[in-house]
Amino acid sequence: MDALRRALGGLSLLYALIFLSFGLLHAGISFGPVREPVIVPAAIVETLCAAAMFAGAYGVLAGRGWAWDGLIYSHSAALGGVLMGILSLALGAGPSSALLSWYHSVTAVLLAAGLAGSFYASRVRGATAPGSGGSGATAPGSGEGGATAPGSADSRRPRRRGPR
C-alpha cells in the first residue's frame, strides 16, 4: 500500500505541474516553440486543477489522515475540469489544436486511472482497518482468545493516568 501511496502522490505532483504549464500556455505565456491560443477560462480551470492536485499530492506525500480522501477529491475535480475542456472543444467554444486534443485525452485517461487507484486504496484501507472484520493489522493474538493489545478496549488492566 505504501508503494501505491508514493506512486499516486508523485503522479499527482506531476499532474499538478502539467496543469500549471497548460494554465500558463492558455494565459499567453509560451515555452519556446510551444504556443497555445489565449483562453482565459481554460487558464482559470487548469490553475484550479493544479491547486487541487498539489493539495492531494501534499496530503499523500506528507502522510496526512485525509490523504486518500484528498486524492479522490483532487482527481475527481481535475477530471471534471478536463472533461469540461473536452466538452467545450467539442462544442467549438474555443480554438482547438492537436496538442490540446492529445493533452485532454491523455490527461483524462491518467486521471481516471488515478481515481480508480485511489478508490481501490481507500477501499482496501477501510477493509483492513482494525475492528472492521478484514485481515488488517491487529495486535498479535487478539481476537482468538489470546492476549489483547495494551491499552485496547478489551484490556483488563486499568490505564495509567499521568506521571507516577
SS3 per residue for 90-140 = HCCCCCCCHHHHHHHHHHHHHHHHHHHHHHHHHHHHHHCCCCCCCCCCCCC
pLDDT on residue 6: 87
60 within a domain of the structure (yes/no): yes
Strand partners, 31: 34
138 within a domain of the structure (yes/no): no
122 within a domain of the structure (yes/no): yes
Specify the DSSP class assigned to residue 31.
B
42 within a domain of the structure (yes/no): yes
40 within a domain of the structure (yes/no): yes
158 within a domain of the structure (yes/no): no
Q: What is the mean pLDDT of residues 144-164?
A: 53
Q: What is the mean pLDDT of residues 148-160?
A: 53
Structural domain for 35, as ranges: 2-127
Q: What is the pLDDT of residues 17-41, one digit of tens each?
A: 999 999 999 999 999 898 888 999 9
Closest CA to 51 of 29, 73, 26: 73
pLDDT on residue 77: 96
The pTM of this model reads 0.73
What is the domain count for the chain? 1
156 within a domain of the structure (yes/no): no
